[in-house]
Structures are given as structure tokens and as C-alpha cells.
Amino acid sequence: MSSDVPLPRQAAPRTGHRAARRRRPRIGVTTSRRSGWRIFPLVALNLWLAGGRGVRWDTARPADIADVDGLIVGGGDDISPDLYGGQLVATARLDPDRDALERRLVLAALAAGKPVLGICRGAQMLNVALGGSLHQDAYAEFPDSRFRRTILPRKTVQVIPDSLLARVAGTARMRVNALHTQAVDRLGPDLRVAARDEGGMIQAIERSVDPFALGVQWHPEHLFYARRHRALFAALVLAAQAGRDRDQIAGVRAEAVAPDTA
């Protein structure tokens, strides 16, 4: 992956092709059909503050990665162990239709070179879609990782130096919230750990090759008042904008060299 995170550019007059490039990048946001009505507005707010525009997707709505510039896989139910060869636990609440939708979208986004941000379940789906596995009862595996089920930032994670997450949000310890009971176990290909909590549980992962792909186990959408958490959405939007600019420039060049058949 490139070591540089895109930085905001100076505003320019919105005319012609330049105006098209400056439109807010569209970001597909996957949600649960049950709880999306209350979760999506928070994610959309964070995207708007970062210069993007959220488009809500669930299993009842058409979802095509070609229609957006980036993807957020949101939080929600547990991921079926059928996707990674695990054993079902009695406390799991599953949504296989959503599993299939999000796995397809993650793979399509990465194949199309479009950035991905995974939030809680979304971080786990990023890993599973790329061939990794999960701890289904994470706190049994990591007893020193204290379970603090709250949207308030009561948990501490250590960011791995020289990671994409460190370039986006800094290397200092981060205060985060925690609503999850599952966590990343075996990493999928081209993924690496970006943060762990005090008990050693993985709390963030990222892709080591392009395009931008970052998954955090916490819920930054609830922490929009904190600069470091807003930075996650800003990095996604900037990566989406940069990708769209590259595609548009490539399209203009292709038109310029195409033979004139008129």
C-alpha cells in the first residue's frame, strides 16, 4: 500500500470537469434492516462532515459498487461461522442474507480499487471476506480484555506504529467504545493488525496493499466529537475522491486518444 494518505486539496472554481470531480464522493453504507434506521444517520453525518455523502444499503435495497466511490460495512449481527469454517455458538444472532451481501460488496470494492472502511462487524467481515477467521467468544479467548459494552469511549487501544491507522489517527493510545463479542482471529491474506487492546485482542486491521481498506472494532460514528475518530471517515472520503479523480482522468485520456469515427 502506498505510504501516503491523500490530503485535502485547495478548493477550485466548480466548472466543467473540475466541478464533477469536486462533487461529494458517494459512499455505500451497509446496515441491518432492523437497526439501520437509527445507525445510518450517524454514519451519514460523519461522512457529510468529512465531505462525503452516504447511501444506505441493506438486503432490501439494490446495492452495486459501481454506483459509489467507496464502501462502509457497518455494525450489527454476528457473522455466520459457515463463512470461515467455525462452529456456531448458542448466543450467536445471524443474518446470512446480509453476510452474503457484504462479502460480495467487499470483494467487488477491492477488485474495483475502491476504498473500504469496516466498523465493528464490518472489520470482521473485511477479514472473513478475504479468507480470515473470527473468535466467536472473544472475551473468553482474551480474559484480560475487559468487556465494556458502551458507546462511550471507555476502552483503550494501542495503535501499531507505521500502520495506516497510525498515519490517519496518530500513534498515541486511543480511547474507544466497545459493543462487540466477536473479534478477528486468523488474518486473511494481505491484512495486518493495526491496533490491539490492553488484553491483546485485535481491535483494528488494515490491508497492506492498495486500495485503502481499514477495519476498526469500535464504533467511531458515535464519537464524531473526537477528531481522531472523525479522521477515519475523512481518510475514507479522501481515498474515494482520489480514486474517482484517477478514474475520470483516465477516462478523459482514453477519449482523447480514441480514433475519430464520426
List the helix and strand counts (H, then E) for the chain: 7, 11
What is the b/e burial string over 226-235, where b = at least 16 CB atoms within 10 angstroms of the residue's CB?
eebbbbbbbb
Catalytic, out of 135, 180, 219, 222: 219
3-state secondary structure of 89: coil
The region, left, alpha or beta by phi > 0 then psi within -120 to 50, assigned to residue 100 is: alpha
3-state secondary structure of 233: helix
Tell me the three cell numbers of residue 254. Answer: 482514453
The 8-class DSSP code of residue 160 comes to P
- Tell me which amino acid residue 169 is: A
Catalytic, out of 102, 120, 222, 229: 120
CA within 13 Å, CB half, 79: 31
| Long-range contacts of 222-229, Cβ-Cβ distance < 8 Å, separation of 24 or more | 222/42, 222/151, 222/177, 223/153, 223/176, 223/177, 224/42, 224/45, 224/46, 224/49, 226/153, 228/169, 228/170, 228/174, 229/169, 229/176
Q: Is 206 a catalytic residue?
A: no
Q: Residue 24 burial by CB count (10 A; 0-12/13-18/19+): exposed, middle or buried?
A: middle
Catalytic, out of 102, 221, 222, 229: 221
- Rounded distance, CA 243 to CA 241, Å? 5
Q: Is 219 a catalytic residue?
A: yes
Q: Is 198 a catalytic residue?
A: no
Catalytic residues: 120, 219, 221
